[in-house]
Amino acid sequence: MRRVSRGARALCLACGAALVAACGAGGPAPGQTVVVFKHGKLFGDPAPLRALLDEFERQHPGVVVRDETLPAGSDEQHQFYAINLQARSAAFDVLAVDVIWVAEFAHAGWLQELTRLLPPAERAAFFPGPIEAVTHQGRVYAVPWFVDAGLLYYRKDLLEKHAFPVPRTWEELVRTARAVMAREPRIAGFVWQGKQYEGLVCNALEYLWSNGGGVLSGGRIVLDTPRNRQALAFMSDLVHRFGVTPGSVTTATEEPSRHVFGQGRALFMRNWPYAWRLFQDPGSRVHGKVGVTTLPHFEGGIPAATLGGWQLAVNRHSRQAAAASELVRHLTSVQAQKRLALAYGFQPARTALYRDPELLAAQPLLQVLERVFATARPRPVTPYYVRVSQVLQSELSAIISGRKSPEAALAAAERKLRKILADEA
């Protein structure tokens, strides 16, 4: 093809070369087994994690651990794993899995069963929520690594100033918020995440569970119930009747709500634990004025928080399954979780660590978090979670944007979710 000018041909060669280089470093030395640990980018210095992996290599001579990171975006990691696991790739052995993927990947037969690592006796050492998330049809497919859950942030100074206790129930929260809003200029009562995305599902479930409701029970959709209608009506009223939550909640994700609270322009906020560390910064306008507790519940309901965090699993097509399982055991051990907690501020999945004096000294918040994580529950554990979530996102958004009544939205959601389960069966 003499027509393609030399320039174009040179370009293709250059890109080709860049491609080859990108494929990674040289192969292992002969006789060594290489365990590849794939996980989302950890925000912070990679050295502590590397130290843990080196320690593992010392304990298991002949085993080399290569640590490869993926972009932080949850969607992108989800795509990466699905593409490679479906293509039966063995390019990685241990993978960090979001709490909502375990059921999906296990159902697709991509994860090695790890019940051996986490026999029933051992499970009590972890919080119940994560354990429920990693169990599929009675078998364990991942070991909880670290935990995340929804919290209630409140302005300690303002509550003391206006002599209000920390609210235990949603009704109490609304009463307190309206009272303080009346006295404090330009302050929102309660900010949270209402944009149409995964975060909205996390927020809404906390209302449903704390009113004794939910989405799934015994593998069946139980959504359109009076309790759920009452819970979501309340959620909508926060915006449209009580005026406690600004209308802009429909575009708010974690960061915008954290900004509003961080600027001192909100009394209460629902968010993940990461925000606490940012408020400890002396430069923050709310430094020292912020308190954290479990989210309120409805009268007669139970406290509940949506579970997040990451679990470690082993690739079903891995050629070093044994070594990989050992690595998972090592990384989820008490010592490992403690060192990771100290280094990256992760919240350990093992309950024992929440009474470890050294850790408590470094992170006093852990005391509160222990109570929160005890009540933390995984989002509906089903292999079809992504489709379920897409339906919930649009119906919940319809409720808080005032486009549909809670009753209509719940009815539509129930119909669609039933169809999905029937469709997939």
Partner 1 sequence: MRSALRAAALALVVGYCLAPFLWQVITSLRPTAELMSLPPLIPTRVTGEHYAAIFHGHPFLRIIANSALVAAGATLLALALGAPAAFALSILRVRGRAVILAGVLGISMFPPIATVSPLFLVLSTLGLHDTLFALVITYTAFSLPLAVWLLTNFFGAVPREIYIAARVDGCTAFGALVRVVLPLAAPGLLAAGLLTFVFAWNEFLFALTFTATEAARTVPVGIALFPGLHEVPYGEIAAAAVTVTLPVVVLAAFFQRRIIEGLTAGAVKG
Partner 2 sequence: MKLERELDRPLWYLLPGGLLLVVVTLFPLGHVLWLSLQRHSLLHGPPRFVGLDNYLRLAGDERFWNALANTAYFAAVSVALELALGLAIALMIARVRRGRRLLYGVILLPWAVPTAVSARMWEWMYDAEIGVLNYLAGTHVNWLGSPAWALNAAIAMDVWKSTPFVVLLLLAGLQGIPRDVYRAAAVDGASGWSVLVRITLPLLAPVMLVALVFRTIDAFRVFDAIYVLTGGGPADSTETLSIYAYKVLFQGLEFGYGSALAVSVFVCVGLAALFYARLMREALR
Q: Which residues bind partner 1 (CB under 8 A)?
A: 2-5, 7-8, 11, 15-16, 18-19, 22-23, 43, 70-73, 76, 80, 83-84, 87, 254-256, 259, 263, 274, 278
What are the CA-CA distances from residue 324 to residues 34, 121, 297 (Å)?
Answer: 9, 22, 41
- Residue 387 near which of partner 2, partner 1, none (CB within 5-8 Å, type-dependent): partner 2
Helix intervals (H) in 22-155: 47-59, 74-86, 102-107, 120-123, 128-134
| Coil, helix or strand at residue 337 | helix
> To the nearest 5 percent, what fractions of the chain are helix, strand and coil?
50, 15, 35
Do 62 and 33 contact (CB within 8 A), yes or no? yes
Pattern 26-45, partner 2, x by CB under 8 A: --------------------
Beta strands in 122-168 (DSSP E): 135-136, 139-140, 143-149, 151-155
Report the C-alpha gap between 134 and 416 in whole angstroms: 26
Residue 162 or 418 having the CB closest to partner 2: 418
Number of residues counted as binding partner 2 (CB under 8 A) = 37
Binding to partner 2 by residue 107, rule CB under 8 A?
Answer: yes
Minimum distance from CB of 260 to partner 1 (Å)?
9
Minimum distance from CB of 14 to partner 1 (Å)?
9
Minimum distance from CB of 283 to partner 1 (Å)?
10
Residue 52 or 392 having the CB closest to partner 2: 392
Instruction: Tell me which residue of 413, 377, 406 sits closest to 392, measured CA to CA.
Output: 413
Stated as kind and residue range, the H or E segment containing 290 is strand 290-293
Q: Which of residues 234-253 bind partner 2 (CB under 8 A)?
A: 246-251
Q: Which of residues 385-404 bind partner 2 (CB under 8 A)?
A: 386-387, 390, 393-394, 397-398, 400-404
Minimum distance from CB of 223 to partner 2 (Å)?
17
Q: How many CB atoms lie within 10 A of CB 195?
A: 19
Residue 5 or 137 having the CB closest to partner 1: 5
What are the CA-CA distances from residue 67 to residues 47, 54, 110 (Å)?
Answer: 11, 11, 20
Q: Which of residues 348-377 bind partner 2 (CB under 8 A)?
A: none
* Strand partners for 37: 67, 94
Do 112 and 297 contact (CB within 8 A), yes or no? no
Residue 145 or 385 having the CB closest to partner 2: 385
Do 231 and 213 contact (CB within 8 A), yes or no? yes
Minimum distance from CB of 389 to partner 1 (Å)?
20
- Could you tell me how many residues make up the chain? 425
Minimum distance from CB of 253 to partner 1 (Å)?
8
- Residue 23 near which of partner 1, partner 2, none (CB within 5-8 Å, type-dependent): partner 1
Report the C-alpha gap between 55 and 53 in whole angstroms: 5
- Residue 22 near which of partner 1, partner 2, none (CB within 5-8 Å, type-dependent): partner 1
The single residue among 83, 278, 302, 334 that binds partner 2, judged by CB under 8 A, is: 83
Sites of contact with partner 2 (CB under 8 A)? 1, 3-4, 75, 78-79, 82-83, 86, 104, 107-108, 194-197, 246-251, 260, 383, 386-387, 390, 393-394, 397-398, 400-404, 424
